[in-house]
Structure 1
Amino acid sequence: MGIHVIKMPDLGEGIAECEVVAWRVQPGDTIKEDQVVADVMTDKATVEIPSPVHGTVMALGGKVGESLAVGAELIRLEVEGSGNLKGEAAKPAAASAAATAAPAADEAADLPHGFVPEPQRVAAGAASVAAPAARVPQAAPAGRSPAPARSGSGASPRAAFRDANEKPLAAPAVRKRAWDMGIELQYVAGSGPAGHITHADLDAYVAGRKQGHAPHAGAADRRYAELQGEEAVPLIGLRRKIAEKMQLSKRQIPHFTYVEEVDVTELEALRGQLNARYGAERGKLTLLPLLMRAVVLAIRRFPEVNARFDDQAGIVTRYQPVHLGIATQTDAGLMVPVIRNAEARDPWSSAREIVRLAEAARTGKAARDELSGSTITITSLGPLGGIVSTPVINHPEVAIVGVNRILERPVVKNGGLVPRKLMNLSSSFDHRVIDGMVAAEFIQTVRGYLESPATLFVE
């Protein structure tokens, strides 16, 4: 038997590392050739990694949420034959466990007082290829909870245990203080008579926890969080990418938001007529494809908003084609699929492409090039759009057009009150390269097309 190592592949476009967002297999699983073993993320695209061979999973190359460099070991397999790891053969599980247990025992002698090392992980007969994990307290035998050895007692960190049903001895004031501090007395050694826990013991425990020596400090903190109704949720995968992208945008770009009210009464009437006449053969139109058309036409007059700004080089690149990003909410988080060459599409073609890309994004099947390369973005929360918003620019673009919900309100027109359908456009611009007047004139041009919708179809 041999070892075959699957490495993090080079996915192109200068990608140096990828984040592991899901493992599809676990140590001990038998897998087949072409079976997907992991999902990794690059920017906002999730890529499935298949196995090139049959084999048995020996070890995984990291935890969910970790980033691995291109070429790093992703997964290790036991395979028939020699495998691709020259000079190594799969070792029996017992031998592997014995090889790792001895160093762990020797290492324990050098650990700080009261600290219990984590047992070395062995998976399906081989040591894990992951980077060394942070040490956590060793699990106690069933029915018993570890308690740190008392200061000066000379007891081994492994030797002191308090029965799970044994109630720690402490005065009411000490118990209240421990509760307020989020400390479980079960894990605190008592230095008082008959093992009573004192205030000094709490102070010693806290001091040890701050230095990383207190066993089960993490367990106590988690227990306290549970009692308080808290939950620590790590940001991984798409959620982390979104956080990084939003932070970059707000840190780098001085946002300027401009809000304008648009009367879409005539636009909605025209949309209804178009759907009644062409809906069966061309598909139904929503407001979004018509707004896309208005933005494309307005860009002809204001090409500076269809651009990307290279912060490092200090260069603004303006684009003739309009690659429109459409902010799309998915179960995993916000994604921005891109409708390329929107200037060459009619509203029905745009509507079909919106549906296709949104479905691909929501099901995780969007290709990388369908999620990158936009030159300007439209964002909308539909009926939840609110009255006003302050959209965050999709870095490195310089403009984003935000759509708020449509409300029917009374409007004074020709000396009388009439019901009209009104909607706000809340749009943000990079004030380094887009002046306020240019931004306002651009949105006013978009407004003009939407309030006189027949002009959308006049070249």
Structure 2
Amino acid sequence: MAYEFRLPDIGEGLHEAEVLTWFKNIGDPVKENENLVEVQTDKAVVEISSPVAGTIHSFGAEVGDVVKVGEILFTVLENTNTAAITENKTIIQQESTQETSFRHQAIQQDSRQTQINLLPKQRVIAAPSVRKLARDLGIDITEVTPTGKAGKVTEEDVRSFSAPANKEVAAAIMPVAPKVVSAVQPQQVTIDELAEEIREPIRGLRKRIYENMTLSESKAVHCSGMDEVVVTRLVDLRKQLQPHAEKVGVKLTYLPFFVKAAVKALKRHPIFNASVDDERMEICYKKHIHIGVATATEAGLIVPVIRHADQKTILEIAEEIQDLSIRARERKLRPHELTGSTFTISNTGGNGGWYATPIINYPEVAILGVHSIKRKPIVQDDQIVIGDVMGMSITFDHRIIDGAPSNAFMTDVHSFIENPELLILEGK
């Protein structure tokens, strides 16, 4: 019996997912709960397993295709007995052979005489990042000899495979341009001699970022304000607290203090802890405070969420940020950990610039930017001294928030950061 698996709603508000990798081929046996496909949702990479055991009959989409919720993702011929399994696989292979023969004949009739390998590819064990690297380099990962444990293809395997073909392209992690044969005098043309540009499909997480940024810019009216904050006392306080945090295995950065300062300001200015319902023309004030923390990964920018941040101490927030950041870079975050934020903070870090204008995480109404801390001359008690100064910015939806409320919000955040003792005085 054929079992049709339709794409479920595997995250909050999910409408579709992009197919990144198929772990099996048509005609392969699959076990119950065995991972079969990797997809990219709006927020995360998710591996989907087969609910039944049997033989793969068909795929509803190819790598790079987008499947909507409710559409068929794959079909499995369920196991009934050994004979049935063998028969099913034989039938599928026969169908595949007939289709391959037909396609091959059609290709042979093409005037270009293009040669294409139509044989099914073997199962390859490799991490998503390694598969992406292979795609970027234009490499068929099934041709790479694995050296990792249990026959796993590693990043080094892919790079070693690509090096003889084109070392410059491999080093730049760029897709390999196709070789072109002249119709008059057959010869190979190198990339430098032929290509004026190299194109790469916008897929996966980058596609989601592309779509979300476009949505935010097309919906919200962005307006940004900027400020300088003297953070000398914050720098000193963090140094005092670091040894205590290290004893419990927590890396104490500046970000937990910024989260706490934002939380306290959000309580005073609830309009910033809101979202917009454009269809109903309503402002949705949130009862809870869930802080999104923009995090850079190799695949792109994602926003893990610290839920109920107002109910946590600075140390608890630091511990959660540490955990979320590690798992974000390892692509191990669950969908619910990437959704539901009510306000977002963008931290450009010590290597970032002095100011930036971050894009609102729509449908939120504002985003706080905290930037690099530098030693600069400041005026203190009518004296010029050297202090620690940080650039800070706020981008808000000017349709909902005016300049005066924005200034008031920034003033409060500014005050809490300049006087960090106030952040720990009340604990949670």
- TM-score, structure 2 as length reference: 0.75
Question: CA contact under 8 A between 1:308 and 1:317: conserved in structure 2?
Answer: yes
Q: Which amino acid aligns with 2:315?
A: W
Question: CA contact under 8 A between 2:20 and 2:39: conserved in structure 1?
Answer: yes
SS at match of 2:372: coil
SS at match of 1:385: coil
- State the partner residue of 1:97: 97
Counterpart-to-counterpart distance in 2, 1:425 and 1:360: 27
- State the partner residue of 2:74: 75
Question: CA contact under 8 A between 1:64 and 1:236: conserved in structure 2?
Answer: no
Counterpart-to-counterpart distance in 2, 1:451 and 1:103: 70
**Cα distance change on mapping 1:98 and 1:16 into 2, 3 Å:** same
Counterpart-to-counterpart distance in 1, 2:63 and 2:98: 28
Give matches, 1:401-412, under 5 Å. Answer: 401-412=368-379
More RCO (CA 8 Å, sep 6+) = 2
- State the partner residue of 1:51: 50
Q: Which amino acid aligns with 2:98?
A: A
Question: CA contact under 8 A between 1:225 and 1:231: conserved in structure 2?
Answer: no
What CA deviation, in whole Å up to 9, does each residue of 1:389-433 have, x standing for no partner? 110000000110011100001223334331100001022100101
Question: CA contact under 8 A between 2:274 and 2:286: conserved in structure 1?
Answer: yes
- State the partner residue of 2:17: 18
**Cα distance change on mapping 1:408 and 1:123 into 2, 3 Å:** same
Counterpart-to-counterpart distance in 1, 2:274 and 2:295: 21
- State the partner residue of 2:363: 396
Counterpart-to-counterpart distance in 2, 1:239 and 1:185: 30
Q: Which amino acid aligns with 1:37?
A: L
Q: Does 1:438 align with 2:405?
A: yes
- State the partner residue of 1:425: 392
Question: CA contact under 8 A between 1:3 and 1:82: conserved in structure 2?
Answer: no
Question: CA contact under 8 A between 1:323 and 1:341: conserved in structure 2?
Answer: yes
How far 1:68 sits from its partner (Å)? 1.4
Counterpart-to-counterpart distance in 2, 1:339 and 1:60: 37
Equivalent in 250, 254, 259 of residue 292 of structure 1? 259
Give 5+ residue unaligned stretches, structure 2: 122-176
Q: Which moved more, 1:359-368 or 1:290-299?
A: 359-368
Question: CA contact under 8 A between 1:275 and 1:284: conserved in structure 2?
Answer: yes
Counterpart-to-counterpart distance in 2, 1:225 and 1:250: 37
- State the partner residue of 2:198: 231
SS at match of 1:445: helix
SS at match of 2:354: coil
How far 1:273 sits from its partner (Å)? 1.4
- State the partner residue of 1:449: 416
Question: CA contact under 8 A between 2:314 and 2:424: conserved in structure 1?
Answer: no
Counterpart-to-counterpart distance in 2, 1:415 and 1:120: 78
Q: Does 1:313 align with 2:280?
A: yes
**Cα distance change on mapping 1:231 and 1:82 into 2, 3 Å:** farther
Give matches, 1:166-177, under 5 Å. Answer: none
Counterpart-to-counterpart distance in 2, 1:430 and 1:267: 29
- State the partner residue of 1:354: 321
Counterpart-to-counterpart distance in 1, 2:193 and 2:393: 40
Counterpart-to-counterpart distance in 1, 2:93 and 2:245: 68
- State the partner residue of 2:33: 34
How far 1:22 sits from its partner (Å)? 2.0
What CA deviation, in whole Å up to 9, does each residue of 1:425-448 have, x standing for no partner? 022100101101111121111111
Could you say what the CA RMSD is over the residues aligned between the two structures, in angstroms? 3.5
Question: CA contact under 8 A between 1:306 and 1:322: conserved in structure 2?
Answer: yes
Counterpart-to-counterpart distance in 2, 1:382 and 1:120: 48
Q: Which amino acid aligns with 1:93?
A: Q
What CA deviation, in whole Å up to 9, does each residue of 1:297-356 have, x standing for no partner? 112221111111112211111123211000011222111111111111110011111112
How far 1:35 sits from its partner (Å)? 1.6
- State the partner residue of 1:414: 381
- State the partner residue of 1:145: none
**Rg larger for:** 1
**Cα distance change on mapping 1:291 and 1:102 into 2, 3 Å:** closer
Aligned residues between the structures: 366
Counterpart-to-counterpart distance in 2, 1:451 and 1:322: 22
Counterpart-to-counterpart distance in 2, 1:183 and 1:82: 47
SS at match of 1:9: coil
- State the partner residue of 1:204: none
How far 1:453 sits from its partner (Å)? 1.7
**Cα distance change on mapping 1:334 and 1:185 into 2, 3 Å:** closer
- State the partner residue of 1:179: none
SS at match of 1:382: coil
Q: Which amino acid aligns with 1:23?
A: W
SS at match of 1:403: strand
Counterpart-to-counterpart distance in 1, 2:106 and 2:63: 30
Equivalent in 343, 354, 367 of residue 376 of structure 1? 343
**Cα distance change on mapping 1:408 and 1:120 into 2, 3 Å:** closer
Counterpart-to-counterpart distance in 1, 2:181 and 2:103: 30
Counterpart-to-counterpart distance in 1, 2:269 and 2:375: 31
Q: Which moved more, 1:231-240 or 1:430-439?
A: 231-240
Counterpart-to-counterpart distance in 2, 1:392 and 1:457: 30
**Cα distance change on mapping 1:250 and 1:341 into 2, 3 Å:** same
